[in-house]
Amino acid sequence: MEHDDLISKKELLDLTSISYGQLYRWKRKNLIPEEWFIRKSTFTGQETFFPKEEILKRIEKIQNMKENLSLDEMAEMFSPRLEKINASRGELLEKGLVSGAVMSFFIENTDQRDDAFELTEALAVYVLEGLLQSGEISLDEGKMVLDVMLSRAPKHQGRLIVLRKLGIATCFIAEGEIVFEKAVKVAADISLAAAGEEMKTKLL
C-alpha cells in the first residue's frame, strides 16, 4: 500500500469531526476492522494510519446509518462473516452481481455444477466479474484468481492481490501491509471484506 493511500489518525479525526472515543468505540464494536489500524514508525514515534478511501467511506456510512440502526445492527451489516449467504445462480445474475459471460466462464473453469452458490463461490465470481469487466486482468489471469479464491482454505478477509512482472502474473491473498519491488506492477488489489460487504448489500 502506498503511503499516499493512507491517512493518519489525526487527519482522520480532523476531517470527519469524530472523536478519538467514537473511533475506538466503533473499533470495539467491529464497525471498523482491526486490520485497518496500521501502526507505522514516524519521526515523532509510532503513529496509527488507515487506508484512506475505505475508512472515509466506512465513517460516512456509519454516520448516515446511525440515526436508524444501533451499533450492534451496524456491526452485523458490516460483518465479514457472510457464511449465511446462499444465493442461486439465477439470483446472482438477476441482481446484476455477475454477467452471463462471467458466470459461464466461472462454470467452465470450476467444478461448480450446483445451482446454489455458497459464500466462497459467490464472492469469487463477484470479484472476478469486477476484475474482468474493468479490464484489470486477462481471462488466463481470471482462472488463477478463481484457483486462489476457491482454494481449500477460503479466506473472506485480507486482500486479493494480482501482480504482474515482465508480462507474467501471480495472484495471492495477503493480510497486513505489503511492500513490492519497483519492477512489479500491481494489477489488482482488492479488499475481500469490503467486496463481501458490498456483495451482501446488493443481495439483501
pLDDT tens for 48-105 read: 999 998 899 999 988 888 877 787 777 777 765 555 567 788 889 988 889 999 999 9
Helix (DSSP H) and strand (DSSP E) numbers for the chain? 9, 8
Give the pLDDT of residue 162. 92
Instruction: Quickly count: other Cβ atoms within 10 Å of residue 95's Cβ.
Output: 13
pTM for the whole structure: 0.58
Domain boundaries in the chain?
Answer: 3-76, 86-203
155 pLDDT band (50/70/90 cuts)? low
Q: What is the CA radius of gyration of the chain?
A: 18
Residue recorded with cell 466462497: 120
Identify which of 9, 100, 18 has the alpha carbon closest to the alpha carbon of residue 52. Answer: 9
Report d(CA 124, CA 112) in Å as an integer. Answer: 12
Q: How far is CA 122 from CA 13, 126, 129, in A?
A: 36, 6, 11
Yes or no: domain 3-76 corresponds to CATH 1.10.1660.10? yes
Report d(CA 78, CA 55) in Å as an integer. Answer: 13
CA dihedral sign, ordered 93, 131, 158, 171: positive
